[in-house]
Structure 1
Amino acid sequence: MTYREANFDGLVGPTHNYAGLSFGNVASQQHAAQPSNPKAAAQQGLAKAKLLADMGFTQGILPPHDRPDITTLRRIGFSGSDNMVLQQVAHDAPTLLNSCSSASCMWTANAATVSPSADTLDGKVHFTPANLVDRLHRSIEPAQTGRILKAIFADKQFFTHHQHLPEHSFFGDEGAANHTRLCHHYGETGVELFVYGKQANQSHTVPSHYPARQTLEACQAVARLHGLTQDNTLFMQQNPTVIDQGVFHNDVIAVGNQNVLFYHQQAFANQQADLQKLQEKMHGQLHLIEVPQDAISVNDAISTYLFNTQLLTLSDNNMVLIAPTNCEQHAGVKAYLDHLLQLDTPIRAVQYVDVKQSMQNGGGPACLRLRVELSEQELAAVNPGALLTTERYHTLMQWIDRHYRDRLTVADLADPQLLIESRTALDELSQIMQLGNIYPFQQN
């Protein structure tokens, strides 16, 4: 049976803005209060997804959440009509309006952790939405994310869905951004690498400036839920010094696929010893590609998102790196990537993509996608409306043109018309993607 890795990209929502909500995410803070372009952001992300589909990869889409999130605003004491709620929160607590209007669900690398059927004890694909408790604007996402995943991966014969972990910092979970699956061939049992920033009950070896968002306890809990074994898991700690430089998720400093791990020299806390364990679990057949600090600094890796790239296997078993154009425009990083292609590694090509609207808010190509390894039968059980075809691509581009603004400021989030526009767009999108009534406003 044929197995493949599918990428499900987050469709950027109509309220995409630069409110600078993510402490520890350098790009997010640097671009705070600048005007955004939701239409361009959605088109850039969709064009990237279409490029991969045209290259022969299985490509899916995850829809945006309903924003501004009126349900959460009511939960914390704002009342009256939807317009009244917006007026109250804009006047009394504008930072709460910013948090409840974020389009951050576009970064589906944080949507969930996914384990393929080859790794799990029951032979099903397992999903656990991330609780994202470290940031307020993201902590409101997991319930809606779970509804979306259940609507797309609905067949209980193949898919198992878990509730997100308890909403407490002890179980801080950021999803697939801190999870990499390595294997020799898709469909064979692999090694699931969980990367954590701290142990919840210990205060040593933690960053001193920016928060460590992922806990070891969360990683262990997800592994238990998914029915993973000691033989096919490894827990590695992120280097606290790079977190303090702005590496808020592991996918900002490392990326892996099949039997390749591409990472920075300073990525992990106990790098040499842990990578040796990983190599042993991979039976000595793991390609370790370490980028030295004297070739690319951590700061340059962060500013260009060299590692927030998609590493994908081509039909000839060589690999391509899908990198943001920021890498191409940085002389040092471009020179390094040109040199990389001359080395004896499985990475044989680099494809640059323009996702600047997402990059300015702190998310590169890898942030925009959730990887799901599927067999032919499992893929056939996926809701077909979530898979990107040429026809659906053009339909979605037209949908974006009809419903999205090309300029949005933080002040615009209080505009009642924006809520109407967003809900009108999402109501139509749920029909385009054949998802049913997945949004609370559709059920009311």
Structure 2
Amino acid sequence: MTREINIDGLVGPTHNYGGMSFGNLASANNKGQTSNPRSAALQGLQKMRQLIDLGLTQAVMPPQERPFMSGLKKLGFTGNDSDVLQAAYKVSPALVSNYSSASCMWTANAATVSPSPDTADGKVHFTPANLTAMPHRSIEGPQAETILKAIFADESAFTVHAPLPANTLFGDEGAANHNRLSATHADKALEVFVYGREALNADDKPSKFPGRQTLEASQIVARSHRLKPDNTLFVRQSNSAINAGAFHNDVVCVANGPVLLFHETAFDDYIGLEETLKRAAEPLGFVPQMVMAKNAEFPIEDAIKSYFFNSQLLTLPNGKMALVLPADAEENMASKQFADACVSGDNPIDQTIFMDLRQSMRNGGGPACLRLRVQLTDDELSKMHQPVIMSHQKIDRLEDWVKTHYRDALIVEDLGDPKLLDEARSALDELTQILELGSMYEFQKDGASN
């Protein structure tokens, strides 16, 4: 049996609204607001609990180390960790904010994943994203690689690659710009890489907001994953979608099985795309099902505001499809009307489920941002690190852990406080014990000095 597991990012103790993501309208609009790390983490855990109740396999990815002290030390700050943090904050609160971001909770950006039916060597391949477009995210790649190698350590089944070279030619944003279309999770698939710009094309027209994913990066990942060229497509995201605030394709598009659910503005030529998908899918024995929201009925502004397409489109154990949406999508009239249309008539989606993820949403991350999808056979599932697979009992324990260690209010000014550094490290140290990950963080290996 092959199943899709959702690996959700656990929100870290330094979750804050620093407004650092250019082109992400929610992040910019909520800059400087008071965040609630405790509520954010509990909301994420509740989403995991609900997916377990739907009969799905759910796992968790731990937060990365924040504040990222070794990164600050490389910038010339000296002394013990408290001294370094305070000195850096005195020089630039914005700098410390970048190195304290909890954005790694959005594991859709942790890596691109190709399951074993798609790869030439029959292994599951992971390439951690380098996330070069945003400074606060560009520090995530090496730690993501470390975490993925801990979870998927068995090299007989898994290959975890290094992130691509960290430069503007190879900007890679992970699974947020990657779709997989297939008859079922167990079958060979079309892997559809969506890019925002061609870095080596001098004539590539500029956008108001940057196209974060490059064609060149997508091509490298496809080669590294040993994908068959006939089953691999590279599709351009429209500049109009990027300029409207769709900084990743998963803000205007989501796929599952044979279904591609997308906004009319997501691609410049959706008719041509449908024809291309049908031709490529025919040898694989399935017909893609295109479900499109028309801009005249569901304006792109409402799609971005509600984060409708940043949803989880899931195949349930009974074979039916469910669409997990943020609560914001239920409160927007145009979004709610389209959600109702998706489950009416002959559409392939059977039910909609709305979840409260407001803490994440205010930074521009909905249900799809919070999870990395991995299709695994039962044998492959048995070879991954079992303690990160969630159950109600494990979620109960993590909820108690959050309530013990997380603050219920955090402002940007708190990020320069050494007490927050101590709190975060204490939390992560205990978490590695709960998840049986060993001394994974740098402060555990080096012996933190405060």
The answer, yes or no, to whether TM exceeds 0.5 is yes
The answer for the alignment partner of 1:159 in structure 2 is: 158
Runs of 4+ in 1 over 6 A off after TM superposition: none
In the aligned structure 1, how far is the partner of 2:320 from the partner of 2:393? 29
Q: What amino acid sits opposite 1:107 in the alignment?
A: W
Given the alignment of the two structures, is residue 68 of structure 1 paired with residue 67 of structure 2, yes or no?
yes
Whether the aligned pair in 1 keeps the contact of 2:263 and 2:295 (CA below 8 Å) is yes
Residue 211 of structure 2 is matched in structure 1 by 212
**Bigger shift: residues 269-278 or 281-290:** 269-278
Question: Which whole-Å deviations, capped at 9, do the CAs of 1:205-260 have from their partners, x for residues lacking one?
Answer: 54431110000000000000000011111000000111011110000000000100
Q: Which residue identity does 1:186 align to in structure 2?
A: H
Shift of 1:332: 2.0
Equivalent AA in structure 1 for residue 359 of structure 2 = Q
Mark the runs of 5 or more structure 2 residues left unpaired by the alignment.
none
> 1:286-308: per-residue Cα shift (whole Å, max 9, x none)?
11001100111111000000100
Report if the CA contact (8 A) 1:205-1:240 is conserved: no
- Compute the RMSD of aligned alpha carbons: 0.9
Write the distance in 2 (CA, Å) between the matches of 1:338 and 1:183: 25
Q: Which residue of 1 aligns with 2:378?
A: 376
Q: In the alignment, is residue 312 of structure 1 matched against residue 314 of structure 2?
A: yes
Residue matched to 2:302: 300
Query: Residue 326 in 1 paired to residue 343 in 2?
Result: no
- Pair 1:241 & 2:240 matched: yes
Any idea what SS the aligned residue of 2:118 has?
coil
CA distances 1:172-193 after superposition (whole Å, capped 9, x unpaired): 0000000011110122110100
Q: Deviations over 1:315-360 (max 9, x none)?
A: 2322100000001111221122112211212101000000000000
Contact 1:197 1:206 in 2 (8 A): no
CA–CA separation in structure 2 for the residues paired with 1:324 and 1:81: 42
**1:414 aligns with one of 413, 416, 424:** 416
Q: Which residue of 1 is the match for residue 359 of structure 2?
A: 357
Which segment is superposed worse, 42-51 or 284-293?
284-293
Equivalent position amino acid for 2:233 in 1 = L
Q: What code does the residue aligned with 1:99 have? A: N
Tell me, yes or no, if the aligned pair for 1:263 and 1:290 is still in contact at 8 Å. Answer: yes
> Contact between 1:108 and 1:367, CA under 8 Å: does it hold in 2?
yes
3-state SS of 1:127 partner: strand
Distance 1:95 1:35 in 2: 16
Amino acid at match of 1:377: D
Task: Provide the rounded CA distance (Å) in 2 between the counterparts of 1:200 and 1:57.
Answer: 39
Matched length: 443
What residue is the counterpart of 2:389 in the other structure? 387
SS at match of 2:117: coil
Give the corresponding residue for 1:338.
Answer: 340
Structure 1 equivalent of residue 198 of structure 2: 199
Greater CA drift, 267-276 or 348-357 = 267-276
Q: Give CA deviations for 1:116-158 in whole Å, capped at 9, x if unaligned.
A: 0000000000000000001000000110000000111111110
Match of 1:289, SS?
Answer: strand
Aligned AA (2:214): T
SS in 1 for 2:191: strand
Q: Which amino acid aligns with 2:218?
A: C
Distance between the aligned counterparts of 1:93 and 1:269, measured in 2? 41
TM-score by length of 2: 0.97
Q: Find the counterpart in structure 2 of residue 7 from structure 1.
A: 6
CA drift at 1:396: 0.1
How many angstroms does 1:93 deviate by? 1.7
Say whether 1:49 aligns with 2:48.
yes
Matched, 1:187 2:189: no
SS in 2 for 1:434: coil
Identity of aligned residues (%): 49
Equivalent-residue separation in structure 2 for 1:320 and 1:425 (angstroms):
34
Aligned to 2:252: 253
Pair 1:40-2:33 in alignment:
no
- How many Å apart are 1:5 and its aligned residue? 0.4
Q: Which runs of 5+ in 1 are unaligned?
A: none
- Note the alpha carbon deviations across 1:87-127, whole angstroms, 9 max, x for none: 11111122110100000000000000000000000000000
Structure 2 partner of 1:90 = 89
Match of 2:404 among 402, 405, 408: 402
2:174 is the alignment partner of 1:175 = yes
Aligned partners of 1:89 and 1:410: how far apart in 2?
Answer: 14
TM-score, structure 1 normalization: 0.98
CA contact (8 A) 2:293 2:338 kept: no
1: CA distance between counterparts of 2:205 and 2:325? 30
